[in-house]
Chain A
Amino acid sequence: MSAPAGKLGLDPGVIAECRQAARQIADQVAEEISGRTTVSVERSVTRLLGVDGADAVEAPLPNVLVDHVHERGGLGQGIAHWLGNAMIQTGRSPQQLAEAVSAGELDLLELEQAEDGAIRERVSEECAARLREISGRFEERRAMRERLGDAPTPLRYVLTATGDVYEDVVHARAVAEAGGDIVAVIRSTAQSLLDYVPYGPTREGYGGTFATQANFRIMREAMDEWSESHGRYVRLSSFCSGLCMSEIAAMGAWEGFDNMVNDALYGILYRDINIVRGLIDQRVSRMINGYFGVAINTGEDNYLRTADAIEAAPSVTASQFINHQLARDSGVPDAQIALGDAFEIDVPVENGLLLEWAQAQLTRELFPDCPVKYMPPTRHMDGNLFRTHAADTLFNLVTVATGQGIQTIGVPTEGIFTPHIHDRVLGLQNVDYVFNAARDLGEEIEFKRGGIIQTRAQEVLAGAHALLLRIAEIGLFQAIDEATFGDVSRKVDQGRGIEGIVRTEPGYFNPVVGLMREPAKADEASYA
């Protein structure tokens, strides 16, 4: 998937300066969030050590375990430290230890302390074995994907959201039947602010279905069955967002998910999650996604739903540069970084299509090795489903002509309710028609020198360049405070989940981070 090179007459020097500024910004972020962990990061460690299940009052065992240590003031050492020690002292597995703690039979902090080196060795061994197990499953999945084959890009990404996982299965089958390549189950609205992941299959949700490991498994089994019987691989996606983004990454890895929305900025801006909490969680969440070959989707498209699509275009491009660098710093290779972009210019804007075309082409030229996740018009779509269907047709045309890697399909009933089963099929039929009819249009097109499209792309890049230089000067946190993204302002010392940040102590240990920094399978990309 190579982007058509250089149709926009962009200045390579400006692009290089943008990348340099993004590196500087990402380094500052790393510095600001260093020396801290969060309750959800620690819970992810327990999950990657095999802890699962819930107690009698439905509190997930990872929470029980982490809260147990946190209440006793020990979390600054890392949950792995206490688990490793307890494994040595009792000979029990992390799961057995979690159950004993939950039953009130064991206090991890009162056990005799083994020597630090021995603890690290024991818990790293356990963690490495689990990672090998998950990697093995990932390899099987890769083999299945290769055997069954992928559709040509742009991959068609479709959202389902019934609230009932068993209904989601029916909807997902209809999506697969109509040519969808990636099924994403939208999460219940309430979930992003829960500081735990609910346990078990769920049949009630608001605006979506709870992301639980059991629900992941039910969807995965249904889609694998469909893929095998129809000879085409269907990918699954969920949302590493909200207060549990790193835990969901771990759960998705266990259950063989292929894609994940992964962008802390969304939660920070639109769910008022604390900036530091969000970015610490994101770093680990992306690390896990990157390691297990999961493609991440970033959320720049959302800015255009709250800020004006024409004026805010440079903030989208600037954010793409930053997100790209932050993802790379977490070990995610380019081929797994699907940067966000959206087709959100209001319908009556004259030459709006040309401006959209410029923006879409710009993203492709700036990040030629990233798949990009291109989002349909939503903000200005009202109940007039016929107009929405027409707008989606233009969106589909720009998608195929600019060679986007992943396209979230538009549905005619956008803005009315979460789509009904047939709405997605109508959307996919529109996509098929346009993709097929204009398959190689991009190869045929060159843009007029100094014309509307070239000029617009150059202006957006120049705006992004200025913005990046400013952010590099003041730092990302101050930029967010100044409402640079989506017209929303958030302060670094406020927001939800702030109480879940824990300062690490000198003996802090997290085996996952260490093991994942080793050369991973992630350099072979799923979007080669």
Chain B
Amino acid sequence: MREVDLTAVRPYADHLGDGLVQMSFTLPVPYSLAARKAALELAGRMGFEEPEVVHYEQLTEGYTYFVMYGRCVQSVDFEALQGEGFDIEYMSEDEIERFAEEHLHRKVVVVGASTGSDTHSVGIDAMLNLKGYHGHHGLEGYRSFETHNLGSQVPNSVLLAKAIEVGADAILVSQTVTQQNLHVHNLTELVEMVEAEGRRGDMILACGGPRVSNELAKELGYDAGFSKGTEPQHLATFIVRELAARVASSG
């Protein structure tokens, strides 16, 4: 039996090192022999050796669909990637509920909105509304959370007033579509307002959106930032852990 060389791994299909990749895609060209040739050539340019079209057909006039195989000759150094802290451990919905029960003994109150001129509630809805995102419930669906989703185009002052009114543990701000650096301005303003109210220590502040990163969020004075691909349980994991840590440290 051969050892796998973890410094140079490539796809495995039938035997070690064969590099076989299955792929399918559509080209906006008429169904023809030339289309087939184009797909083979394209796969070659992608770096695949011995590309093969196993199926192709017309979808509608001018569009052809392909199923292909090709041999990938590239490899990656898996060993170098291990232990670099890529494996962030998020909890599942059930685990979060149990964690909250054990460590917090009460509901976590969360207030969220898409602020400023942003009309898009898609981000905050994905995190907070029951329907959630990618088949994962939003926080509204958790027993351990009490959520207030104020929707879109909410002024920072309204968001903060609501947070104070309901005694929020966390404020969530979504910035989906912004122009220039309006989102930076919006996000900064909220932090300043929370600080002016003397509430910064009582609340977790988190923001999210396609142009938000954890690095940017921290720079602006938030506890965390969430980017594309975030699912509600990722956010929930962060909130319950952070809150539990705060409870523990305050004795």
> Known contacts A177-B60, A420-B26: does B149 contact A272 (CB below 8 Å)?
yes
List CB contacts (< 8 Å) of A370-418 with chain B. 378-382, 415
Interface residue ranges, A against B (CB under 8 Å): 170, 173-174, 176-178, 189-190, 193-194, 206-207, 269-272, 305-306, 378-382, 415, 420-422, 425, 486-488, 496
| Cβ contact within 8 Å between B24 and A270 | no
Contacting residues, chain B, for A381 (C-beta < 8 A) = 135
B residues 14-68 with Cβ under 8 Å of A?
Answer: 24-26, 58-61, 63, 65
What residues of chain A lie closer than 8 Å to B61, measured between beta carbons? 173, 177
Which A-chain residue is minimally distant from B126 (CB atoms)? A189
Known: A207-B122, A382-B135. 17 other contacts (CB 8 A): A174-B60, A174-B63, A176-B60, A189-B122, A189-B125, A190-B152, A193-B152, A194-B119, A206-B120, A270-B129, A270-B130, A271-B125, A306-B131, A378-B135, A415-B134, A415-B135, A425-B65
**Residue B116 interfacial (CB < 8 Å):** no
Q: Are A422 and B122 in contact (CB under 8 A)?
A: no
In the complex, are the beta carbons of B122 and A425 less than 8 A apart? Answer: no
Q: Give the docked Cα–Cα distance between A173 and B63 (Å).
A: 10
Q: Does B183 contact A (CB under 8 A)?
A: no
Given A306-B131, A425-B59, check contact A190 B141 (CB 8 Å): no
Instruction: Decide if B137 is an interface residue (CB 8 Å cutoff).
Output: yes
User: Can you give 19 contacting A-B residue pairs, CB < 8 Å?
Assistant: A173-B60, A174-B60, A177-B58, A190-B120, A193-B121, A270-B131, A271-B125, A306-B131, A306-B137, A378-B135, A381-B135, A420-B26, A422-B25, A422-B26, A425-B59, A487-B130, A487-B141, A488-B130, A496-B151
- Whether B26 contacts A421 by the Cβ 8 Å rule is yes
**Please, which residues of chain B bring their CB within 8 A of the CB of A269?**
130
- Interface range on chain B: under 10, 10 to 19, 20 to 34, or 35 or more? 20 to 34
Q: How far is the CB of B223 from chain A (nearest CB, A)?
A: 27
Q: Which of B60, B129, B130 has the most chain A CB within a 10 Å cutoff?
A: B60
Contacts of B58 in A (CB 8 A): 177
**A174 adjacent to B59 (CB under 8 Å):** yes
With both chains docked as a complex, state the minimum distance between the C-beta of A459 and any C-beta of chain B, in angstroms.
27
Q: With A270-B130, A306-B141 as given contacts, are A422 and B59 in contact (CB-CB < 8 Å)?
A: yes
**Given A272-B149, A421-B26, A496-B151, A379:B63 Cβ within 8 A:** no
How many inter-chain residue pairs (CB < 8 Å) link A and B?
A: 67
Q: Which residues of A contact B129 (CB under 8 A)?
A: 270-272
Let me know if B152 and A422 touch, CB within 8 A.
no
Complex: chain A residue closest to B176, CB-CB: A206
Partner of B65, one of A173, A190, A305, A422: A422
Cβ-neighbour of B135 out of A193, A379, A420 (below 8 A)? A379
Q: Say whether, besides A193-B151, A270-B131, A272-B149, A178 and B122 are in contact (CB < 8 Å).
A: no
Question: Which residues of B136-192 are within 8 A (CB) of A?
Answer: 137, 141, 149, 151-152, 176
Most buried by B among A174, A269, A305: A174
Closest residue on chain A to residue B67 by CB atoms? A422
Whether the pair A190, B60 counts as a contact (CB closer than 8 A) is no
Nearest-CB residue, chain B, relative to A382: B135
Chain B: CB-nearest residue to A190: B120
Q: How far is the CA of A214 from the CA of B78 in the complex (A)?
A: 52
State whether B122 touches A206 (Cβ < 8 A).
Answer: yes
In the complex, which of the residues B25, B26, B130 has the most CB atoms of chain A within 10 Å of its own CB atom? Answer: B130
Would you give the shortest CB distance from A188 to chain B, in whole angstroms?
8
Residue pair A306, B130 in contact (C-beta under 8 Å):
yes
What residues of A have a CB within 8 angstroms of the CB of B122 in the complex? 189-190, 206-207
Inside 8 A of B135's CB, which chain A residues have their CB? 378-382, 415
Whole-angstrom distance between the Cβ of B34 and the nearest chain A Cβ: 19
Contact A305 B60 (CB under 8 A): no
**Bound-state Cα–Cα, A56 to B141, Å:** 42
Residue of B nearest to A188 (CB): B122
> In the complex, what distance in Å separates the CA atom of A206 from the CA atom of B58?
28
Within 8 Å by CB of A421, from B63, B119, B137, lies B63
Set of chain A residues within 8 Å of B125, measured between Cβ atoms: 189, 271
B59 contact from A177, A305, A382, A415, Cβ within 8 A:
A177
How far is B130's CA from A422's CA once the two chains are assembled, in angstroms? 31
Q: Quote the shortest CB–CB distance from B165 to chain A (angstroms).
A: 15
Cα of A173 to Cα of B24 in the assembled complex, Å: 20
Of chain A, the residue at the smallest CB distance from B134 is: A415
A488 to B129, CA, bound (A): 10
Report how far A176 CA is from B141 CA in the complex, Å.
38
A7 to B120, CA, bound (A): 49
Asked if residues B151 and A178 are in contact (CB atoms below 8 Å), the reply is no
Residues of B within 8 A of A425 (CB): 59, 65
Contacts of B24 in A (CB 8 A): 422
Question: 5 shortest A-B CB distances, which residue pairs?
Answer: A174-B60, A173-B60, A189-B122, A174-B59, A422-B65
A378 / chain B contacts, CB cutoff of 8 Å: 135
How many whole Å from A519's CB to the nearest CB in chain B?
A: 41
Q: Chain A residues with Cβ under 8 A from B152's Cβ? A: 190, 193
Instruction: Provide the bound-state CA to CA distance between A330 and B121, in Å.
Output: 32
User: Across the two chains, which residue of chain A brings its CB closest to B120?
Assistant: A190
Q: Taking CB as reference atom, which chain B residue is nearest A416?
A: B134
Question: Complex formed: what's the CA distance from A421 to B59 in Å?
Answer: 8
With a cutoff of 8 Å between Cβ atoms, the chain A residues found around residue B120 in the complex are 189-190, 206
Q: How far is the CA of A97 from the CA of B64 in the complex (A)?
A: 51
| Min CB gap B150→A, angstroms | 10
Q: What are the residues of chain B within 8 A of A306 when measuring CB–CB?
A: 130-131, 137, 141
Residues of A within 8 A of B149 (CB): 272
Closest to A420 in B: B26
CB distance from A228 to the nearest CB of B (A): 15
**With A and B bound together, what is the CA distance between A528 and B58 in angstroms?**
34
B67 CB to closest chain A CB, in angstroms? 9
Residues of A within 8 A of B151 (CB): 193, 496
A271–chain B nearest beta-carbon distance, Å: 8
CB-CB under 8 A from A415, the residues of chain B are 134-135
B59: chain A residues at CB < 8 Å are: 174, 177-178, 421-422, 425
Chain A residues within an 8 Å CB radius of B141: 306, 487
B38 to chain A, nearest CB (A): 16
A305-B63 contact in complex given A272-B149, A496-B151, C-beta closer than 8 Å? no
Nearest B residue (CB) for A194: B119
What's the nearest-Cβ distance from chain A to residue B229, in Å? 12
